[in-house]
Amino acid sequence: MMHTFKINYWFLSSLFISCFVCIPLIVIGISLFQDVSGYYQLLGETYVYTYIANTLLVLTGVLVLTFIFGVGAAYLTSFYQFPGSTFFTWALILSFAVPSYIYAYSLTAFFGYFGNLYSFLNYLFGPSDYHTLIPKVDGLLGSILSMSFSLFIYVYLITRASFIYQSQNLVDAGKIMGFSNYQTFKKIIFPSARPGIVVGLSLVAMESISDFGTVSFFNIQTLTTAIYDSWIIFDDIATAYQLSFFLIVIVLIFFWLERMSRSRSKFYMPTRGYEAINKIQLQGTSAAYATTFCLLLFTCSFLFPISQILLWVIQFPDNIHLAQLIELSVNTVSIVILTTLCLIVLAFFTNYGMRISKSKFLNAVTNFSVSGYVIPGVILAVTLLSFLSFVSKLANSNWIHFLFSGSIIGLVIAYCVRFYSLAINGIKSGYEKLNTNLDDASYLLGYTKFGTFIKIHLPFLQPNLLLIAMLVAIDILKELPITLILRPFNFETFATQAYTFASQDMLEHAAGPSLFLIIFSAIFILLSKKYILKGF
Amino acid sequence: MLKKIILLLTIALNAASAHAAEVNVFTARHYSSDVELYAKFTKQTGIKVNVISGDAKALEKRIVTEGTRSQADVFIDVDAGNLGAAQHKGIFQKISSPLLIEKIPAHLRTDYWYGISKRARIIFYNPEKISETIAKQLNYEDLASTNYKGKIVIRSSSSTYNKSWVASLIENNGTEQTTSWAKALVQNMAREPEGNDRDQILAVAVDKADIAIANSYYLALMLSGQKGPEQQAAAKKVKIVFPNQNNRGTHMNISGAGVTAYAPNKEHAIRFIEFLLSTEAQQHIVNTTFEYPIIDQVMPNTIMAAFGTSFKQDTTSVATYYNNQAQALAIMKKAGWR
Amino acid sequence: MAHYFEFNNVSYSKNNEHILTNVSFSIPRQGDTVAILGPSGIGKTTILKCISGVRKIDQGTIQLKNKILHDSHTYIDPEQRNIALSFQDNALFPHYTVEENIRFGIQKSLFCSKNKNGPLKYSMEDLLELFFVPELKNKYPHEISTGQAQRVGLVRSIIHNPDLLLLDEPFANLDQNLKDKAQKNLKEILKSTGITTILVTHDKYEAFYLSDYCGILLQGGIVQFDSPYNIHHIPNSKEVVEFFNRGVLIPVEVVSDDTLFNKDLGEIKGKLVKKYEKGEQVNLLIQPEDLEHDDSSTLKFEVIDKKFRGTNLIYTLQTPSALQLPVFVHSHHEHLHAEQEKFGIKQPIFIDHLVCF
């Protein structure tokens, strides 16, 4: 090989960034070789199997429900026209504005002792013992419902994209073969959308396995809570790391599944467009079923939680401190914007580096680093803290530590590590639609690599960019454990404020911040709904 | 580019504030009204209070990990067991404050951390099922009695309040007795532990159980109407009793504060804690949290006061709770207490 | 004196597959047009990609205007080479209109290499018109057909006014009528602007029409590189003959410097392209235009096939030794010969170029 060796700056900087993100994983890997304390024995004796069982139960429940909700809604809105279909197509996305733990709070608000349902029945039918009537929606059921309603959106969007890109041809092929609508779906459309569906479900799985806020609120002991407990309560960081390792292994299975399916469904978009599907108009009972399904889903996943929060706000207006909420807003919005900018820049850098250098090594490192997405936020924060302490001890400098811990910068870095995956993959999927031929064409017209980036990539990726920015922003808005641990003095976000109240049994006080969180998320969603629907 | 600006700003801000008098408080208590309290302190002393509130354990973790570089001055937590654990991790440093020693009874403080408010772990019961005479005689140890089979609700064993409580039982009654007591108690549970303290009280209110064990302030909280009219009505249905009045007294626990080991503003920290024991601060605390005050000059909030202020309080040193907590948890778990 | 462009001993392989092995050719003067002909899949497009720099060669040198573009020490980035390539699977930027796409070729900007020639004397509108896509300026690539997109790509490359223009099957998707006109226009543009061009095509007529030199790319590399006339009349190997597939080889004996003898055809006179020994047995290439039809001739063979080509017919005649000879006849000939009829060959047989192997 006589390729002249030029220092590829893109490659190096991308490599550096990706390595940085791998740190939590490496720390945990190292700890694997440390001793286990009595906690582990305790676990073995009593409840470890319950933890695993609970984790799997929650996971299974969530996967089943998100599949039904997501694929069902995607199917209906992609192929059919029925009353409200245009509205529901984007309205369903609003459920993404409600984090799982806030959904949990609203379930408690409604179904809890002397909750809103009780008051409602009381109001309608007079006092009575409704407690036996009202179902208890907490624990496993509550966790599953909360997570399903807030996560199904992943399956919905990705499945929808798979359906749409298949274009009219498949539908026509089915007609020619004489299939009914249902048969066409079952035999042609569904199989080819399957990789996409698996991608969506894998994402859901990863999210739900690493959830902490919801399960701890409902007192369900899962692997994640066990990790938290062993670290926090039993002071056994080694076990915490080890359990994290197992958790990551489980997650990597889903992650691998997602990669496999993603590559199977990957195709270089031709530089021409695709043909949009001709939607079938539904009539009569079918239309009624379709509308009802979507309406129920929308009500449950968005209207319900927001109504509970609003009821709280109305019932307990004293809990709303406007000045505090404004301060929260300023804090939250600034950190969101700052981090989003950083992440976008990082993601572009890495993707461009991968695109230019075509290095398998860089690809592997990047892929490895993105699974850090699933480390419980708590562990992530701690590993970063440990690493920073280690580094600053080495450098014998207070300054480094001071800069990163308990500061906005440290928080931003932690967010970047956590959401690196989302940003990278989001931009990457945009790049995948851009044929590398076009890069060549641009070079041959005399444009430098940077020029190509500015004039060809950026404009083309703009919808993607906006979409990813919005998604990252919303994720940071909702983020809880990392913010709780690493935030600087006098700094609260909507999420931390709501959580602190909820965990101190002052749920009604959580209404204000929760409401604002949902509103801001909803605003971000609405601003980018066009891109969300197209770009996923 | 943006990062550089932030960097500069952060340095500038920190540099600027380094000269201002301040104290950095890590607290596991979170009441929006505490902000007013801190403002009072600042007004009195000119020292700015920087607060970071959150999950106690997470805060501890951060202080420990940051080590000598930690910026924390004061650490406040609920439950003496937690405070003991924190001390064990080296979070606190010994301070000497004659004022604190004078104001706080010996069994409610150590050299490292100091109680700033009290709470009792009491029995809530359904007056229609249990007569007042019987109730008034109740000891914690009676909860093992077969009379109460299927009638007791209590929260999970992992609750730090329970751990301290059982730790205190171990301290007073020994391991063996506490072990059999725990087993019997589990047999008496009306359901698997679920929910928090307030849920246990509500369970009694809706007749799912006859007896609940919970912290004292919850009653006041519900009666105050802050949790809505229904809970207020429910709270009226239950009665309370301070157990063990015929022997050592009711189990007490504290919220406490201490100065951190590497506090950059040690003197300010001591002043801050001393402030928390002032009449003004104690009054504020009892009226917002419905806990009992440490100092005698202050009366508990009227709602709590209505239930009696001169009940006998267990003077077992809160310092012992931590020592026995690990064993307490083991006993509970082995008894099948979820 | 160095040639304007040199492509020497180039090898390129991908995934352990050798695509190009030791390929060489050159363009002597600036302003020349070279066509690379060859069967599909042989690597014609790869050559263009290597020249443009978007693929890196494994061995060899590429040189343009006395500057090394790629050899064992140097590699110049594509954006610095001032070479334009019109892709076969066109590469128009999907988020820009046709006009904006073409402007990419002309503009100078911060993001562009400084190595650019001045503007072309043809404007964008001129070129669009000449390639029959004038009204498409404001359309997006997905709104136009593949053929139109290809021509827009062509315009974009030409207007760039490069030192070297590489065209990959530029008119592949054009129907014959437009193709002729487009080729004519292209030739005129190239000649009047003096842009040096390498054209890759599988269409022989296109190659012959447009180029000053043709290179035939077969398995072993560029087997012949010569003017179109010579390629046609003096192919240098059997492989080239087979590639063009227009003629047949018949066994002859060398009688003298200008005479050959075949059992069926008798004496054949003409100029031997290569010297042979008297009495040597060789194979003579007979192309359809070599034999003339003559009804009055006594040398007659049976017609076994007849191809009507519009302007001409090609008869296939069978000789007693089972040789199949193609003969080219104007279609205005008085009478058509049916199959199995006897068809006369004019004697004496005189062929200008006697190409033997």
In this complex, the residue of B53, B227, B230 whose CB is nearest that of residue A500 is: B53
Which residues of chain A have a CB within 8 Å of the CB of B69? 389, 392, 398, 401-402, 405
Whether residue C253 sits in one domain with residue C234: no
A/C Cβ contact: 3+ pairs below 8 Å: yes
- Closest chain A residue to the Cα of C51, Cα to Cα: A444
pLDDT at C357: 81
Which residues of chain A have a CB within 8 Å of the CB of C93? 438, 441-442, 456, 460
Average pLDDT over residues A31-47: 56
H-only helix segments in A233-371:
237-264, 284-298, 304-315, 322-357, 360-370
Chain A closest-CA separation from residue C72 CA (Å): 6
Average pLDDT over residues B18-33: 78
C 106-135 residues inside an 8 A Cβ radius of A: 109-113, 115-116
Which residues of chain B have a CB within 8 Å of the CB of A490? 50-52
Q: Which of A7, A167, A444, A465 to mutate to test the interface with C (most CBs of C within 10 A)?
A: A444
User: Could you tell me the pLDDT band of residue A371, with boundaries at 50, 70 and 90?
Assistant: low
**Structural domains in chain A plus CATH codes:** 9-269+281-535 (1.10.3720.10)
Q: To the nearest whole percent, how much of chain A has pLDDT over 70? A: 80
Where does a domain end: C239, C262, C290? Answer: C239
Contact A447 C104 (CB under 8 A): yes
pLDDT at B210: 93
pLDDT at A373: 65
Whether residue C34 sits in one domain with residue C171: yes
Average pLDDT over residues B251-275: 93
Contact B206 A496 (CB under 8 A): no
C/B Cβ contact: 3+ pairs below 8 Å: no
**Touching check for C15 and chain A: CB below 8 Å?**
no
pLDDT at C290: 85
In this complex, the residue of A6, A448, A459 whose CB is nearest that of residue C113 is: A448
Chain A closest-CA separation from residue B137 CA (Å): 30
Q: Which of A505, A507, A509 to mutate to test the interface with B (most CBs of B within 10 A)?
A: A505
Per-range mean pLDDT, top range of A153-167, A190-204, A274-288, C66-80: C66-80
Average pLDDT over residues A296-323: 87
pLDDT at B87: 92
Where does a domain end: C194, C209, C239? Answer: C239
User: CATH no. for residue C162?
Assistant: 3.40.50.300
The domain tally of chain C equals 2
pLDDT at A267: 44
Strands (E), chain C: 5-14, 17-27, 33-37, 59-64, 67-70, 83-86, 164-168, 196-201, 213-218, 221-226, 248-256, 259-262, 266-272, 281-286, 299-308, 312-318, 324-330, 342-345, 349-354
Which residues of chain A have a CB within 8 Å of the CB of B11? 403
Whether residue C153 sits in one domain with residue C110: yes
CATH architecture of the domain with residue range B2-118+253-300: 3-Layer(aba) Sandwich (3.40)
pLDDT at A517: 93
Per-residue DSSP letters for C115-167? ------SS-HHHHHHHTT-GGGTT--GGGS-HHHHHHHHHHHHHHT--SEEEE
Say if CB A373 and CB A367 are below 8 A apart: no
pLDDT at A277: 67
Burial class (CB in 10 A: 0-12, 13-18, 19+), C231: buried
Q: To the nearest whole percent, how much of chain A has pLDDT over 90? A: 15
For residue C93, count other CB atoms closer than 10 A to its CB. 22
Same topology, domains B2-118+253-300 and B119-251+317-334? Answer is: yes
User: CATH no. for residue C286?
Assistant: 2.40.50.140
Position of tokens 């009666």? B223
Say if CB B292 and CB B216 are below 8 A apart: yes
Which chains sit next to A, with 3 or more Cβ pairs under 8 A?
A: B, C
Q: Does the structure show a pLDDT above 50 at B16?
A: no
Q: Does the structure show a pLDDT above 70 at A40?
A: no
CA distance A277 to B117: 68
Higher-confidence residue of A165 and A400: namely A165
Whether residue C195 sits in one domain with residue C73: yes
**Touching check for A2 and chain C: CB below 8 Å?**
yes
pLDDT tens track for C293-331: 887 888 888 888 888 877 888 888 888 888 888 888 887
Q: Does the structure show a pLDDT above 90 at A259?
A: no
- Closest chain A residue to the Cα of B326, Cα to Cα: A234
Backbone angles phi, psi at A287, to 5 degrees: -60, -40
CA distance B98 to B198: 38
Which residues of chain C have a CB within 8 Å of the CB of A4? 73-75
H-only helix segments in A405-510:
408-432, 436-444, 449-452, 458-478, 481-486, 494-503
Note if the pTM is more than 0.80.
no
Average pLDDT over residues B301-309: 85
pLDDT at B4: 67
Which residues of chain C have a CB within 8 Å of the CB of A460? 93-95
Question: Which parts of chain C have pLDDT scores under 70?
Answer: 1, 90, 108-115, 333-336
Mean predicted lDDT score pLDDT of chain A: 79
Which chains sit next to C, with 3 or more Cβ pairs under 8 A?
A: A
- Spatial neighbors of C93 by CB under 8 A, at least 6 apart, are A438, A441, A442, A456, A460, C100, C101, C104, C141
Chain A closest-CA separation from residue B187 CA (Å): 18
C 74-103 residues inside an 8 A Cβ radius of A: 74-75, 77-79, 81-85, 87, 89-96
Average pLDDT over residues A487-496: 83
Say if CB A411 and CB A515 are below 8 A apart: no
Contacts across the A-C interface (CB distance below 8 Å): 98
CATH architecture of the domain with residue range B119-251+317-334: 3-Layer(aba) Sandwich (3.40)
Contact B55 A232 (CB under 8 A): yes
In this complex, the residue of A272, A444, A449 whose CB is nearest that of residue C142 is: A272
Say if CB B162 and CB B152 are below 8 A apart: no
Which residues of chain C have a CB within 8 Å of the CB of A440? 49, 52, 54, 78, 85, 87, 91
Higher-confidence residue of B145 and A223: namely B145
Mean predicted lDDT score pLDDT of chain B: 87
Where does a domain end: C184, C218, C239? Answer: C239
pLDDT at A1: 38
In this complex, the residue of A232, A402, A489 whose CB is nearest that of residue B61 is: A232
In this complex, the residue of C59, C116, C157 whose CB is nearest that of residue A2 is: C59
Whether residue C231 sits in one domain with residue C136: yes
Contact B65 A398 (CB under 8 A): no
* Structural element, H or E, at residue B257: strand B252-259
Specify the 3-state DSSP secondary structure of C215.
strand
ipTM, interface predicted TM-score of the complex: 0.79
SS3 content of chain B, % helix, strand, coil (to 5): 50, 15, 35
Domain boundaries, chain B: 2-118+253-300, 119-251+317-334
Contact A491 B230 (CB under 8 A): no
**Touching check for A444 and chain C: CB below 8 Å?**
yes
Contact C93 A460 (CB under 8 A): yes
Contact C87 A3 (CB under 8 A): no
Specify the 3-state DSSP secondary structure of A495.
helix
Q: Does the structure show a pLDDT above 90 at A112?
A: no
Domain carrying residue C299: 246-354
Ranges A268-272, B289-293, C337-341: which has the least confidence: A268-272
Contact A443 C141 (CB under 8 A): no
Higher-confidence residue of A129 and A7: namely A129
